[in-house]
Structure 1
Amino acid sequence: MNKVTIVACPTCNTPVRWEPASKFRPFCSERCKLIDLGEWASEEKRIPGDDIPPHANDDENI
């Protein structure tokens, strides 16, 4: 007997079956996937960490 894992869509919390047929997993739809991508692109979501010093990206430091 195969047990199917069910996860909650990170955007809307709709249950999603974790299987190859679930095209947008872990999202329930392309819409939810694009909403999440937009949140990362607009920096509403980010991975916590230390700020990068302003001079770290200067070409003079190479």
Structure 2
Amino acid sequence: MSPPPRLEEAWAAGQREWLALSGDSKLSTAEKSGHHIYVDRPDVAVRAVERVTSQAAR
């Protein structure tokens, strides 16, 4: 079941606000996933963790 469109719009606006807090941030989405991305799309979760850890290592 999909969330109502207004909720999706509000969620997306909030995500853009978080994104604007840093000049080095990136917003990624996990298509075909639910709330537990690490279960539904572990490939996306692993890439995100790898990206963050490589940035922290610099």
TM-score where L is the length of structure 1: 0.31
Greater relative contact order: 1 or 2 (C-alpha under 8 angstroms, separation 6 or more)? Answer: 1
TM-score where L is the length of structure 2: 0.32
| Structure number having the greater helix percentage | 2
Larger Rg: 1
| Structure number having the greater strand percentage | 1
